[in-house]
Amino acid sequence: MPPLNKHKFAINLAAVLFFFCILSVHAAPENTIVYATRTGKAYHREDCSALSRSKEAITLGEAARRSLSACSLCQPPLLNAGAAAKIARSTDAGIYRVNIENVNSYKNADTQKMLRARVSRHIDGDTVELEFAAPPAGFNRAEKIRMIGVDTPETVHPQKDVEFFGREASDFTKKMLLGKDVYVALDWDTRDKYGRLLVYIYTAQGVCHNAELIRQGYAHAYTRFPFRFMDEFRILEQEARAKKRGLWEY
């Protein structure tokens, strides 16, 4: 081996070892003790200055179940990936995700496995407020939701005029959903950047309201983010356009 390559090899080896050191320092098992405060959203090492007011010893597993993040000041150990995945699955209990269940069509989702809720407030065509009968871990009893895969014209945006056909879309959702008991399914992402739950809403009759909005021409298929039924929703929009329904009538 020429001297230059030997030198390179040593540098690479050092880099790899350094990386493994970092991993082994940070990835710890579930029973590792860390510290939390009564109200904070982070967990800490024992000597962190953030613990001056209150301090509770908990396991790393418990920190993950409480969705606490690692303090950026004291940089406590991180839970290893296997244990983190196991906890993520268990905290998902009671939530029906069409991606995990491998549901092949929006028509074949199983409402009996979904969360039950009542539509307590109507906001616009693709946004309502739900009240969950038994909210699962991480959900509030009342949640503002955004329907997955649809985009109805705006009606309540403070900086925009009522967009064409927005009123009709909004009235349709109000008529079909307000005050009704519904079934709720999720997909890849639980919330959007505004903290709204991202859901499919199924009526008591098993009709997917998201799909119905597009099928009847009240909404576009919103395909900026991937979701399980994207291909089907695209086809529903093409059919609505071809038949000049709703939005596409004029």
**Residues noted as catalytic:** 146, 154, 196
Is residue 73 a contact point for Zn ion (CB under 5 A)? yes
Which listed residue (44, 146, 209, 215) binds Zn ion by CB under 5 A? 44
Is residue 48 a contact point for Zn ion (CB under 5 A)? yes
Residues in contact with 130: Cβ distance below 8 Å, sequence separation at least 6, in sequence order:
117, 118, 119, 120, 142, 143, 145, 182, 184, 197, 199
Which listed residue (27, 33, 50, 178) binds Zn ion by CB under 5 A? 50
**d(C-alpha 131, C-alpha 117), whole Å:** 5
**d(C-alpha 71, C-alpha 205), whole Å:** 47
Q: How far is CA 124 from the centre of its chain?
A: 20
Which listed residue (63, 71, 83, 219) binds Zn ion by CB under 5 A? 71
48, 71 Cβ separation under 8 angstroms: yes
Q: Which is nearer to Zn ion, 50 or 178 (CB)?
A: 50
Is residue 36 a contact point for Zn ion (CB under 5 A)? no
Q: CB under 5 A: which stretch of 14-22, 37-45, 91-99, 145-153 binds Zn ion?
A: 37-45
Is residue 10 a contact point for Zn ion (CB under 5 A)? no
Task: Return the DSSP state at 2.
Answer: -
Which stretches of the chain bind Zn ion, using CB under 5 A?
44, 48, 50, 71, 73-74
